[in-house]
Structure 1
Amino acid sequence: MPKLALTIAGSEATGGAGAQADLKTFQARNVFGMAALTCIVSFDPRNDWNHRFVPVDAAVIADQIDAITGAYGPEALDTVKIGMMGTPATISTVAQALRDRPFANVILDPVLICKGQEPGAALDTDNALKAEVLPLATVVTPNHFESMSLSGMDAIDTEADLIEAAKKIHELSGAAVVAKGGVRIAGPDAIDVFYDGETLEVLRAPKVGDVAVSGAGCSLAAAIAAEIAKGATPLEAARAAKAFVTDAITVRVASNAPFDAVWQGD
């Protein structure tokens, strides 16, 4: 029987990110995946490709998680990846579900806000995420912006800054941290920093292009979840996920949208 992993995340209609990317990643990493959708995100090609964001009703989110955890007991399903939630109500619902049925491995991709949402929503979502879900995480994978928000730093411009952010986020959460620098840190390599309170490792790969690719962060967190579900340590999982996502960026998929998407296939 394959190992199992759950994603609790938003639907992204073009297939590049969100639960769609998570499920593709689970499959590519030889893990049986399932998804509880928290919101529906649709890019608007007639409005600068902003997001049209529709939250899923809280009761429906709870029902999905109830069905999944009812079908697969904790001895089979012990790993969950948390992605886009989008509202404080959704965060509270997911946090309660995680408390009701604890998972051994909670990989949190701390998505704070998507393009097109009201700025005021970002602060409420940020605060709810920090208060309710971050303490439950065993691994957290913030991107450049999220690392600044969670660490309280004004800027993350260098490798040393990213290391400092990872340490601050670990102190805040107690989780293993994979702070993603990607293309936003100067230099030839895309760097991410792993820190779990004892081990510090900078994960490097040559940059593939100079712009971010849709779904890279989702896929990294999902690959970490998949590897941990199969028995890897968080550091082993982060290394494998880094290589996987680098390959997925290299064979990216172009479209009429102003961004490319990762491809988890060969």
Structure 2
Amino acid sequence: MSSHSSAPAALHRPSIALTIAGSEATGGAGAQADLKTFQQLGVFGIAALTCIVSFNPKDNWNHRFMPLDAEVIADQLEASFAAYGPDDLDTVKIGMLGTPATIGTVAQALQARPSKNLVLDPVLICKGQEPGAALATDAALKNQILPLATFVTPNHFEALSLSGMEAIDDVEDLKEAAQRIYAISGAVVLAKGGVRLYGPDAVDVYYDGGTLEVLSSAKVGEAAVSGAGCSLAAAVAAELAKGAATLDAARTAKEFVTAGIKARVSSHAPFDALWQGGVR
């Protein structure tokens, strides 16, 4: 009998990813969706919350938006980055930040501790905000967070805003938007057409400055599903944390979200939620 037989097997250390995002109380989107996505893809997920979003069933399910204090956000990031060094934690996914104060706090922390992979889901407008506040938040996000991103996943509305285009009506427009966003940010772009573009397929466009690829899958209904955008960006982040190339991460994320939309969860809310376990 070998003298080594009682030695414990080498422990597998999962890749780690941090999401900086809001909490969404019905579980379909935000940090809840991100953490479920990380877990499903075999990544150890940690979260720093930026705000609390709770839909209001008494007011047509509109957003109730409560930002967290900037110091509380800074404290969470300090703890996360102290617990996991740059070699352990090199991938960050950013979701809803929500206010210029939050954006400034997060930008400062990320500049002090750069990450190899910084995946930005550029949530520009929170429906619970006044238009003036929303525009100030948009400007802060574009000026302070977008330049730090290595990968950005704008939806149809966000692609319009970031690209400065008048309209995105078809795949050719979406390609142009992706290329424009890459030109201003230097980040790899996965521009989401989703159900917004006419036709039988949900189409997203990947562009990294060299490769331009259309990722397409048959639409699953014509209604947007809560958590699809969050989960797509989180899946990209999870794959990058595991060492995948950016195009492979985009393809895997697209498959993951398509499966999650097919397996979506309905509730008494007027929208369905993506189920991250759909890939099983």
TM-score range, shorter-chain basis? over 0.9
- Give 3-state SS (helix, strand or coil) of 1:97's partner: helix
Q: 1:34-84: CA deviations, max 9, x gaps? A: 000000000000001011100010011010000001000001100000000
Counterpart for residue 154 of structure 2: 142
**Aligned: 1:108 with 2:111:** no
TM-score normalized by structure 1?
A: 0.99
- Give 3-state SS (helix, strand or coil) of 1:11's partner: strand
Shift of 1:116: 2.5
Provide runs of 4+ in structure 1 moved above 4 Å.
Answer: none
**Aligned: 1:205 with 2:217:** yes
**Aligned: 1:189 with 2:189:** no
**Aligned: 1:214 with 2:229:** no
Q: Give the residue type in structure 2 aligned to 1:46.
A: K
1:229 counterpart (236, 241, 258): 241
Which ranges in structure 2 are unaligned for 5 or more consecutive residues? 1-12
TM-score normalized by structure 2?
A: 0.94
Cα distance in 2 between the residues matched to 1:153 and 1:51: 27
Counterpart for residue 86 of structure 2: 74
Q: 1:220-252: CA deviations, max 9, x gaps? A: 000000000000011110000000000000000
Counterpart for residue 36 of structure 1: 48
- Aligned CA RMSD, in angstroms, stands at 0.6
Counterpart for residue 32 of structure 2: 20
Cα distance in 1 between the residues matched to 2:232 and 2:145: 19
Q: In the TM superposition, what are the counterparts of 1:111-190 in structure 2 within 5 Å? A: 111-190=123-202
- Give 3-state SS (helix, strand or coil) of 1:262's partner: coil
Counterpart for residue 241 of structure 1: 253
Cα distance in 2 between the residues matched to 1:55 and 1:122: 13
Cα distance in 2 between the residues matched to 1:128 and 1:114: 14
- Give 3-state SS (helix, strand or coil) of 2:221's partner: coil
State, as a whole percentage, how many aligned pairs show the same letter. Answer: 72
Shift of 1:154: 1.4
Which ranges in structure 1 are unaligned for 5 or more consecutive residues? none
Matched positions, count:
266
Cα distance in 1 between the residues matched to 2:70 and 2:129: 19
Counterpart for residue 59 of structure 1: 71
Q: Give the residue type in structure 2 aligned to 1:73.
A: G
Shift of 1:123: 1.1
Counterpart for residue 98 of structure 1: 110
Cα distance in 2 between the residues matched to 1:114 and 1:123: 10
- Give 3-state SS (helix, strand or coil) of 1:210's partner: coil
Q: Give the residue type in structure 2 aligned to 1:144.
A: H
2:270 counterpart (228, 233, 258): 258
